[in-house]
Amino acid sequence: MRQPQVSVGLEVGEEYLRAAVLRRGVRVGYSLAHAQEWPLPKEEEKRSTILTEAITILRDKAGNKPAPEWFATVQGTKVCLRLIQIPRVPSSELKGAVMWEGRNQVPFPLDRSFTDYQILGEIEAEGGGQQLLALLAAAQQDVILESVERLQKLGISLSNLSLPAGLLWSACKHLAKPSDEEAFALVNVDQGKTIVCVGKGALLEFTREILFTGVYPASDDASSGEEHPLVRELRRSFDYYQERHKGEKVKKIFLSGGSACEPRLAEFLSGALQVSVEAIDPFQKLGFLDGGAPVDGQEAASRSPAFTIAAAAALAAGGINLLPLRLRPRKPLPLQKALIPAAALPLLFLGYSYWSLTGAEKEYRKLYGTRQVEIAKFKEEEQQRLKLKEKEKRLTELLAQVPTGSAESLPWKDLFRQVARLLPQNVALKRMTFGSKEGADQRKPASEGKQSSTRMKVTLEGLIFGTEAEVLAGLAGLMEALQGAGRFQAIGMSSPLKKNKEFSAPAVDFGLAFEVVIGSERPAQLKEPPAKGAAGQGKN
């Protein structure tokens, strides 16, 4: 059996909070369960305290079963409501057409605002033909987010946030029941601001806000010769409507708002504008649940017109909702939509399994590809480390062969370490041998005042990897490095290059022999050694 629904409408103004709690029965429409008004001071701390107390009372009146829905209004200079005329377009293009036409009528950027629209119906265009009439509502994002956050701190999740003018027009058929054959106006007069909506039938064709800070008129003011500002602005609005609609006049005014509770206001406006004026009474139209009475008895009952917008919000009659979907509470699906035929469950299970396995396979393939790249990079780095380690090992073995005894202390080990490090990347040394050149070992006693000298023969053997051009370039780089790093008398090949088939990459064997002089005495053809720290040059 269908449970009754409960909705709470909040009209939050600068100086007041009005609320109406409506409960819909199983077989009947909505009825008022509670209505109350709270004055709001300007001090933020006192204002928050009163709002907290008001929400606590409303929660108690609304109950928990079923959970109530909360609806509220938003007002201010950063919100607006506009009537937009657009050509007849497919439904898929409605939103784009409304936003395109509305960008020139809304006083702030639409791309940084929350918007919603409602199609009211078709009208006749000025140049002939039919056009669609849409009601566009827009509010800057910070206003909506602040309103939602303020109520969320009080434990309320809003289902709808709309503008008072839109709610007033949408609820007029429930609270005022105007004639479909005559033009009428809805006028909400309250604390310095008047909302005017003029239309006929279901079409709202004119709406505006009138800011007024003076005292609202009473019947006693009719004797004064000057026309009251409110009367003057209402007359201008009705004349504008009459001019645009071929002389059709507004026949009736439905009055609402806090100032509409003054009984003399309706009488004064009727006499000044020569139009029938009727105050909206939501308490009488809806009736109180179980024959109850509004809070504070007769005092609240006499202020029934003040609760028009709050009751309109609770009726959820407005088609405008400025809350984005992500900020609205999620509603559970009805039972008939939530139930799935038993035959579909295996298919859903298989589909879910296939989707899970497919997703897992994609993730695995992605992870596998990433790991392969990381492994290849690691292998490359490991090969570089092994090459460097092997080179250091060979260098250590070569340095062990360098003679240590000589008449003159020379840094031969450092020299050959420098030479080995300067070798091109494609050159690998196998052996480095040393020997005295025959007939060249001439040592003299130190007592004769001269230091002995020794001429030594140094032989390098190794491999050069690469193509023919790379082999020649590597050999030239090797000879240049050797000539520029020490005191070398001559460099020459002791054996021709020959291919080596021990390696998968192209490689050739090479042999180089050159002479060095150890000691201060040198052959005449040798150049003086370079200064310490500079690289010497030898002969080819």
What CATH number is associated with residue 253? 3.30.420.40
Residue 536 lies in a domain: no
β-partners of residue 507 are 465
> Is pLDDT larger for residue 129 or for residue 456?
129
Residue 60 lies in a domain: yes
What are the φ and ψ backbone dihedral angles of 439, each rounded to 5 degrees? 80, 0
pLDDT at 254: 92
pLDDT at 487: 52
pLDDT at 528: 36
One domain for residues 271 and 307: no
pLDDT at 408: 41
One domain for residues 100 and 232: no
Mean pLDDT of the chain: 76
pTM, two decimal places: 0.60
Residue 528 lies in a domain: no
pLDDT at 521: 42
One domain for residues 51 and 81: yes
One domain for residues 155 and 97: yes
**pLDDT of residue 395 exceeding 60:** yes
Tokens of 38: 């709270």
Is residue 229 very low, low, confident or very high in pLDDT (cuts 50, 70, 90)? confident
Is residue 252 very low, low, confident or very high in pLDDT (cuts 50, 70, 90)? very high
> Which range among 148-152, 197-201, 256-260, 431-435 shows the weakest confidence by mean pLDDT?
431-435
**Domains held by the chain: number:** 4
Question: Residue 423's domain is classified under what CATH number?
Answer: 3.30.70.60
Last residue of a domain, one of 262, 279, 296: 279
One domain for residues 202 and 286: no
**pLDDT of residue 75 exceeding 90:** no
> Which range among 76-85, 102-111, 205-214 shows the weakest confidence by mean pLDDT?
205-214
Is residue 490 very low, low, confident or very high in pLDDT (cuts 50, 70, 90)? low
pLDDT at 19: 92
> Is pLDDT larger for residue 420 or for residue 35?
35
pLDDT at 4: 56
Burial class of residue 121, CB neighbours in 10 A (0-12, 13-18, 19+): exposed
Boundaries of domain holding 114 = 1-176+282-339
Torsion of CA 276, 281, 282, 285, to 10 degrees: -80
Residue 263 lies in a domain: yes
Q: How far is 162 from 158, CA to CA, in rounded Å?
A: 11
**pLDDT of residue 409 exceeding 60:** no
**pLDDT of residue 324 exceeding 50:** yes
Q: How far is 420 from 424, CA to CA, in rounded Å?
A: 9
Is residue 10 very low, low, confident or very high in pLDDT (cuts 50, 70, 90)? very high
Residue 350 lies in a domain: yes
One domain for residues 161 and 186: no
pLDDT at 445: 42
Hey, how many other C-beta atoms are within 10 angstroms of the C-beta on 1?
3
Tokens of 347: 């298919």
**pLDDT of residue 13 exceeding 60:** yes
**pLDDT of residue 447 exceeding 50:** no
One domain for residues 56 and 197: no
**pLDDT of residue 366 exceeding 90:** no
One domain for residues 34 and 116: yes
**pLDDT of residue 440 exceeding 50:** no
pLDDT at 462: 82
Question: Residue 171's domain is classified under what CATH number?
Answer: 3.30.420.380
pLDDT in tens, 278-296: 989 888 888 876 555 555 4
pLDDT at 489: 58
DSSP letter for each residue of 256-323: ESGGGGSHHHHHHHHHHHTSEEEE--HHHHH-BGGG---TTTHHHHTTGGGGHHHHHHHTT--S---S
Residue 533 lies in a domain: no
pLDDT in tens, 145-198: 988 888 888 888 888 889 888 888 888 888 888 888 889 999 998 877 889 999
Crossing angle between the packed helical segments 229-244 and 263-273, to the nearest 10 degrees: 50
Q: Nearest Cα to 151, choosing from 21, 8, 4? A: 8
Percent of the chain with pLDDT over 90: 9
One domain for residues 122 and 40: yes
Q: For residue 480, how many C-alpha atoms fall within 13 Å in the half-sphere facing its CB?
A: 8
Residue 488 lies in a domain: yes
One domain for residues 203 and 329: no
H helix runs in 103-228, sequence order: 141-152, 164-170, 172-175
One domain for residues 391 and 412: no
Is residue 276 very low, low, confident or very high in pLDDT (cuts 50, 70, 90)? very high
One domain for residues 213 and 167: no
Query: Which residues lie closer than 8 Å to 37 by C-beta, 6 or more apart?
Result: 16, 17, 18, 19, 300, 303, 306, 307
Percent of the chain with pLDDT over 70: 74
pLDDT in tens, 371-386: 888 888 888 888 888 8
